[in-house]
Structure 1
Amino acid sequence: MTKNYTHILWDWNGTLLDDSWLCVEVLNVLLKEIDKPKISLDDYRSNFEFPVINFYNYLGFKTDEKNFKEVSHKFIALYEARWLRECRLREHAFSSLEKIKASGIHQSILSAAHYNALNLGLSHFNLTDFFHTISGTETIYAEGKIKKAKSWMLENKLDKEEIILIGDTLHDLDVANEIGINCALLSGGHCSKEKLATPNSPVFSSLNHLIDAVF
């Protein structure tokens, strides 16, 4: 699918940031509180989906408005207590960003993460200067990515054929489809290769293979 792309839209969690293991550990703390069985990383990657409320329902959490907000705040508190100290970038993430920057292609971040946490993470890992624009959301509920993508397209006025979104979930493919751009998916983040299998987007197991194939 090699094309003359001029801009990459990167997802953050699971694509550049290796944090799925931490999400599993945090969820297992919360599942223990409600006497539900633990979930393994493989199970997580096989079943994770957006909207996140559906995944929480699958795990056994009560997902009425009150309880979903409560468990979401608990998750964020436990996650934020650890992620900057314990998480790392995915293998080849930094070198991939460097390679793309050296080629003259613009890069931006489009994430369902809260923009404060997103900017904090990019600064922590010395990534901020790689990106032309940085777009996060205003809530902790991993919602609103499609809306953000549409706004980004209107603001940047780029040729759709020259943009590709790189992400690690089927929601990233949904976002790309909504705004009419191509998408490449990376397994081993928040979804397994099998979960991502689709005729509408190639799936890669590592960032260096993805970058070599697409660019």
Structure 2
Amino acid sequence: MHAVADIATHRHDATHIVWDWNGTLLDDNHANIAAVNRICAEFGRDPVDLEYWRSVFRRPLLSCYEELLGRCFIDGEWQRLNNAYERCYDTLLPSCELAEGATEALRAWPEAGRSQSLLSMASHDGLVPLVDERGLTHHFTRIDGRRFDATHDSKAEHLAAHLQAQEIDPATAVLIGDIDDDAHAAHAVGAHAILVTTGMMARWRLEATGYPVADTVTEAVARLGAGVG
């Protein structure tokens, strides 16, 4: 799909990591699937398991949820869906731990003399205090959640703005995320990507992007030449 042979094995010239949050640094799969099943109950659909959701989840979210529920939304239902999701997810959020190896990975990269920032499609106002409460803010040169509605429901426009605000050359940046939209966003702006299998998308779907796939954030950082230990 993409010409990524230069990073598919190991890439050592990246100087900046843009981290994704949900499913990458934060292990929130149980909260996500519970919220999805709250939506299923709200709209009269049988519950689904995580394996199924990881095989169908995608952006744009609207068409993904229309497929899940087997119909299009009518006036007010999309907001109703979002409200139901957020109520359930927010209840479970305190039980979400950092992904295995995340703390060590966040320490290892700056120790190698490089920089890192955080970019999430979660609400900016909700993301910033959550990261701060976990004592992680100091690891990042910049933290951005979703600050605006993009033309397309993708991270691409947000990533472009995120890098531009820091005056970072995309060619020196690698986005570490857990879904194929992270790969698409990186490709769109001229950055690199490594995808991790810890989140909302099955490995075979991540591999279909042509970008390298790691099983942990520790492995992802190691691929970039920074030892974690």
Please report the TM-score for the alignment, with normalisation by the length of structure 1. 0.92
SS in 1 for 2:11: coil
The match for 2:193 is 183
For 1:159 and 1:20, locate their aligned partners in 2 and report how far apart those are by CA, in whole Å: 32
Q: Percent identity?
A: 25
Residue from 17, 21, 35 that aligns with 1:8: 17
| Corresponding residue of 1:127 | 136
In the alignment of these two chains, the number of paired residues is 214
Aligned to 1:55: 64
Post-superposition CA distance 1:60-92 (Å, at most 9, x none): 064345211211122112211220x21011100
The CA distance in 2 between the partners of 1:36 and 1:140, in whole Å, is 29
How big is each residue's C-alpha offset from its partner over 1:114-155, in whole Å with a ceiling of 9 and x where there is no partner?
Answer: 011211221122111100001111479994632221212322
CA distance in 2, matches of 1:199, 1:112: 20
Task: Please state if 1:192 is matched with 2:177.
Answer: no
- Alpha-carbon contact 1:197-1:203 (below 8 Å) kept: yes
Residue aligning to 1:145: 155
Alignment-mate amino acid for residue 213 of structure 2: V
Contact in 1 for aligned 2:16/2:172 (Cα 8 Å): yes
For structure 2, list consecutive stretches of 5 or more residues without a partner in the other structure.
Answer: 1-9
1:35 Cα offset (Å): 2.0
Q: Deviations over 1:81-113 (max 9, x none)?
A: 220x21011100111001112112111011100
| Structure 1 position 19, deviation (Å) | 0.8
Q: Which residue identity lines up with residue 179 of structure 1 in the other structure?
A: V
Would you say the 8 A contact 1:7–1:162 is kept in 2? yes
Match of 2:217 in 1: 207
Equivalent residue for 2:119, pick from 110, 114, 124: 110
4+ runs deviating over 6 angstroms: 139-142
Are the equivalent residues in 1 in contact too, given 2:38–2:85 (CA < 8 A)?
no
Quote the residue 1:19 is aligned against: 28
TM-score, structure 2 length as denominator?
0.87
Structure 2 counterpart of 1:32, one-letter code: A
Q: Report which stretch shifted further, 95-104 or 130-139.
A: 130-139
With over 3 angstroms needed to count, the CA separation of the structure-2 counterparts of 1:18 and 1:124, relative to structure 1, is same
Give yes or no for the alignment of 1:97 onto 2:106.
Answer: yes
Please give the alpha-carbon distance, in whole angstroms, between the structure 1 residues aligned to 2:67 and 2:148.
Answer: 22
